[in-house]
Structure 1
Amino acid sequence: MPLIEGTGGHHDAELSARLSARFTPRDDGRLGDALDGNRPIVIFERKMFETIQDSLERTFGPLGRRYANAMAEVEANRWSEVEWPSSLFGKWKKRVALISEEYQLRGIGSISKVNDGDEKIIRARRFVRTSLLAGALTASFEQLTESNHRMRWEDDRDNGAKIILEATDRPFFKPEEPTPTEGVKGSRPESELIHGAGITPEGVMMLEEVPSIILPSRFFDALITVLESLQEEGTAALTDSRCE
């Protein structure tokens, strides 16, 4: 059976078909991302994910920089092998549109405007905390420009964000190419399938009529590594290199 079936409301048949083709069962029963070497993903109701973040910060304190850098590390794989639009006219706009569409499709945010230069000022709509969106966009623009960036961000009006990326002279390395999962595709019980996908007029990605987000499973591996480092007195967080 398909991952997504239409039930009305915000259902978009084209979006449902794209998600069904991209996020498919692995042989271990989890969902894999066909555009990221079939590595596993997790899908959250946005409200539930925010509750998890609140709980973590009650225990560990503010984690904005940790969220941002963990996101940047794992999203780099998604963009490292992308074939960027290379047309003679409008190349920059088409590349930015590709990035924006990816993160709107996954319920993270979208780009309204960005300049091309050593310092990039991004105006965006955010559907998660700005730190997560900043990390995701940093990864994409680093892979696009093949240069490392330092990021800063701030909330801008309702659901808006201003993200500033500044190119650095640190050596740039592409992440290792994901290894595709071999073998027969797995299956998932019908009760776990997601029915109905769509995007609201405000740009929010909905699954089963609920605002939702799609993240690589390894985001949580990176975050756990950071949280473990915070418990060791005098140990710097392993993923703070992109933040001021």
Structure 2
Amino acid sequence: MSSSKSLICLLVILLCILSSAFNSVADIPMNEITLLGDAYFQENGAIFLTSSLPSSVGRAIYNHPIRLRLSSWNSTASFVSSFTFLITPTFNSDSSSSPPLIGDGLTFVITDQPNIEKGMYIVVEFGTSFDSSLEDIGDNHIGINVNLVLSVESVNSSTTMGFVLKNGKRTTGWIEYDDSEKILKVWLSYTNSKPVQPIHATRCDLSNVSMYLDEFMFVGFTASNRKGTSAKHVIENWVFTIGVTIMYFKIH
């Protein structure tokens, strides 16, 4: 009987510990985010990853690496990244009837170093340009890239669920990796309510791509305008959850 009571007490203590852990929230100030290239903070706190100029490139990376790979267990931590963004094309001239100049889009990135071009990375791409040499499926797509410019798997967001990434509308995205299921899912919404059905879901065992993942990795966003294209890429807010820790970036 005493052993049963001890077990119950132990379970209660564990539940209290887990409950407090899951409520762990870390507010991350803007000075904890490194801006590279053309990225800059707007007065209201939003991050402009690019200017409206052609060939503009920018990155916003959280300063501190996050433990993503659990080497002792040969597994990867589950995580959720939710954020609100806008991709607004610019125009050739003062006339709004002129054809818009669309940029390349933006990505959520996990990388071993802020200088992504030289490091290892996994990205979820919200692409707004078409390049047959990169095997793009269209100029409005969501792709998953692992250390490659080419997408490992992608889906057309406009034909799948009617989302146009480059219309300047405020859009909320959710990226979720569940290590127990080995599935990476992406949701999109024009509101703050997460849809039941993801726009994209793919089997993606990150523990099997450990050659691309260090134990600690940086997280953030990138965006670009190739030569001759132009759009503003804006991140208005961002919440990143890994394990039992919720990091809320007070951007907006």
TM-score over 0.5 (shorter chain): no
Tell me which protein shows more helix as a share of its residues: 1
Larger Rg: 2
Normalized per residue, the structure richer in strand is 2
TM-score (norm 1): 0.32
When the two structures are superposed, what TM-score results if normalisation uses the length of structure 2? 0.31
